[in-house]
Amino acid sequence: MEAALRRPVVQEAASDAAPMAVALDDVSISFAMKGQPVYKAVAPTSLHVREGEFVAIVGPTGCGKSTLLNATAGLLAPASGTVTVFGAPLNGLNAQAGYLFQQDALMPWKTALDNIAIALEIGGTRRADALVEAQEWLKKVGLGRFGDRYPHQLSGGQRKRVGLAQVLVRHPKILLMDEPFGPLDAQTRQIMGTLLLRLWAQDRKAVLFVTHDLEEAIALSDRVVIMSAGPEARIIGDFPIDLARPRDTADIRLDPRFHELHRQIWNQLKAEVAKTYGEDLAS
């Protein structure tokens, strides 16, 4: 089998020697809600992502995966612990990071092209130059002819592509993705995944990718981190994914090694999913 032949060619995406891009140390996150006791979303958790490493966080719905991502982005202050970005403690927003949101985050009043160009313009790039570069990125995500469309005139998948280009055009050193392909249909998700991997392979940023889809996580990442059900969610598993790159997110699912990894990780995740829904199912 070809897959068997491919296995030895595993590339170590981020060697142990690579410097740390993101380090979450004993980070816990709580929410104070009116008239209710403080909700401890995430128990003290540590997670390290090296430069060039693609890490996926998987967990049941509502486990605080996105919360952890928001803490890394600086959109949310952790209740305790430290967030370190390239060796420096994070203070305020994470300027090194690009964030691809789950929901539509494009400015509806700007065209696809302008939505990408603005990301450069606010950094001081001249408008003419920004437009040229934005057009290049539109081409890279396969939307070269759609520059003058407004977000509502694009499909969900196309909007995500524009969003991806909007984030990548700034060349952030860290890419944070919060279930970015969640709202898309299965077919589009795989196409987006392959596109993401192709773009990522060009300069290998550190990626923190949150998803509830284990298959997607394995297909994309170098490491899959499993989180337990909330409240007081924590990391309960950390699996290296030694599938060869470059990968096609659709084909890789047929690889025997993929199935082996899937079974191994699922066994761990299963118990957590049961815990989340257990009470509902038992009653």
Partner 1 sequence: MKLHPVKLLFLQLLVAVVALAIWQVGATVPIGGKYLLPEFFFSKPGDVLTRVYTLFATGVIWKHLWITLTETVLAFLIGSIAGVVFGFWFARQPNVAAVFDPYVKMFNALPRVVLAPIFMLWLGLGIWSKVALGVTLVFFIVFFNVYQGVKEVSPVVLANARMMGMNERQLFRNVYWPSALSWMFSSLHTAVGFALVGAVVGEYLGSSAGLGYLIHQAEGVFDVTGVFAGMVILAAFVLVIDWGVTRIERRLLVWRPQSASGQN
Task: By CB under 8 A, name the binding residues for partner 1.
Answer: 73, 75, 93-95, 97-99, 101, 103-111, 118-119, 122-123, 150-152, 166, 170
Q: Which residue, 20 or 75, has its beta carbon nearer to partner 1? A: 75
As a whole number of Å, the CA-based R_g of the chain is 19
User: Closer to partner 1 at the Cβ: 13 or 68?
Assistant: 68
Nearest approach, Cβ of 118 to partner 1 (angstroms)? 6
The answer to whether the peptide bond before residue 246 is cis (omega within 30 degrees of 0) is: yes
Nearest approach in angstroms of CB 166 to partner 1 is: 8
Closer by beta carbon to partner 1, 14 or else 120:
120
Strands (E), the chain: 20-31, 39-50, 54-58, 80-85, 88-89, 97-100, 174-178, 206-211, 223-227, 235-240
Residues 6+ apart with CB under 8 A from 145: none
What CA–CA distance (Å, rounded) separates 221 from 207? 9
Residue 92: CB minimum distance to partner 1, A = 10
Q: Report which of 241, 252, 236 is spatially closest to residue 58, judged by C-alpha positions.
A: 236
By beta-carbon proximity to partner 1, the closer residue of 115 and 221 is: 115
By C-beta, is 66 or 194 nearer to partner 1? 66
Provide, rounded to whole angstroms, the least separation between the CB of residue 152 and partner 1. 4
Give me the least distance between CB of 251 and partner 1, in Å please.
32
* Beta carbon nearer to partner 1, 154 or 219: 154
Min dist. Cβ of residue 117 to partner 1 (A): 11
Cα 110 from Cα 120, distance rounded (Å): 14
